[in-house]
């Protein structure tokens, strides 16, 4: 299937690992150019080594208040066709494990920087009459995840913001959709295994099996498969899909609207 992405230009944040890296690769395979944004320049250099001139890089912290001014300089008046909004989640923990400073940090790191980025990009998309926004959140927007209270609290706030904005800009040819991944075989999952292993005293391998049992497919998600869904949502083919929260979780979510 031709997604008609050849020659198009996208921003991908959190591009150097996990789902962000897989989506960067998928977009390049479809013939698109990508500005890959992440904090680790060495990992970004690996993307350039793999994909060549299709990938430009920007080593930056998207939660830093200086980020947007640096992004403007990097874009140099070029307007992207879309953006993949993605970053690591807040630290694991329950209610009594998290002090108020962690709540303040989670507000900034999960919600506020995304609001700022969209306030910057949406007027650019409006000026060209089209734009695609895909946001990677978590199944915690539909079903709370144990020991992830900060994610359970702030990621649904992102969805509320995004769905409201989707209504405001649909007439401008701009779509905004949220992907809610369950457990995928990425480095982020390795950190969850370690955290739960330390908390429970079980081996990392045993903990991994417990996570897999929460899905009904018998395995974790594959980043490359997830990337194909994201690429479609960033493509012209998804023009009539907006304001949606799409679970990619192996039926891990048990509610009727999962």
User: Percent of the chain scored above 90 by pLDDT?
Assistant: 76
CATH number of the domain that 25 lies in?
Answer: 3.40.50.720
Q: Is residue 70 part of a domain?
A: yes
Q: Is residue 258 part of a domain?
A: no
pLDDT at 68: 97
DSSP strand pairing (82-85 vs 174-181): unpaired
Q: Is residue 198 part of a domain?
A: no
Q: Is residue 49 part of a domain?
A: yes
* Mean pLDDT across 25-45: 97
DSSP strand pairing (33-38 vs 55-59): parallel
- In this predicted structure, the answer to whether residue 104 has a pLDDT above a threshold of 90 is yes
Phi then psi for 38, rounded to 5 degrees?
-165, 170
Q: Is residue 94 part of a domain?
A: yes
Q: Is residue 161 part of a domain?
A: yes
pLDDT at 194: 75
- In this predicted structure, the answer to whether residue 5 has a pLDDT above a threshold of 90 is yes
199-224 pLDDT tens trace: 778 787 887 787 777 788 888 888 99
52-101 pLDDT tens trace: 999 999 999 999 999 999 999 999 999 999 999 999 899 989 999 999 99
Residue whose token pair is 């990392």: 204
Q: Containing domain of residue 19, as a range? A: 9-184+221-248
**For residue 40, what pLDDT band results from cuts at 50, 70 and 90?**
very high
Number of folded domains that form the chain: 1
Q: Is residue 168 part of a domain?
A: yes
Contacts of 36 (CB under 8 A, 6+ apart): 12, 15, 16, 24, 44, 47, 55, 56, 57, 58
């Amino acid at each position: 299937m031709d997604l008609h992405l050849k020659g198009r230009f996208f921003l991908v944040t959190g591009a150097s690992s996990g789902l962000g890296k897989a989506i960067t690769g998928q977009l390049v395979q479809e013939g698109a150019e990508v500005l890959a944004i992440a904090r680790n320049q060495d990992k970004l250099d690996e993307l350039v080594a793999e994909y060549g001139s299709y990938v430009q890089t920007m080593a930056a912290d998207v939660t830093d208040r200086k980020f947007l001014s640096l992004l403007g300089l990097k874009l140099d008046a070029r307007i992207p066709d879309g953006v993949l909004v993605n970053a690591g989640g807040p630290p694991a923990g329950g209610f009594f494990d998290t002090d108020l400073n962690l709540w303040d940090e989670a507000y900034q790191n999960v919600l506020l920087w995304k609001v700022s980025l969209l306030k910057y990009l949406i007027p650019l998309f409006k000026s060209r009459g089209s734009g695609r926004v895909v946001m990677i959140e978590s199944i915690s927007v539909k079903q709370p995840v144990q020991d992830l209270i900060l994610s359970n609290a702030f990621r649904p706030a992102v969805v509320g913001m995004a769905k409201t904005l989707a209504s405001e800009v649909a007439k401008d040819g701009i779509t905004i959709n949220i992907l809610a991944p369950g457990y995928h075989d990425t480095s982020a999952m390795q950190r969850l295994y370690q955290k739960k292993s330390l908390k429970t005293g079980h081996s990392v391998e045993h903990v991994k099996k417990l996570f897999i049992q929460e899905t009904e497919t018998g395995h974790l998600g594959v980043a490359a498969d997830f990337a194909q869904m994201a690429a479609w949502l960033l493509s012209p083919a998804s023009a009539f899909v907006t304001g949606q929260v799409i679970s990619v979780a192996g039926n891990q979510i048990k509610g009727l609207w999962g």
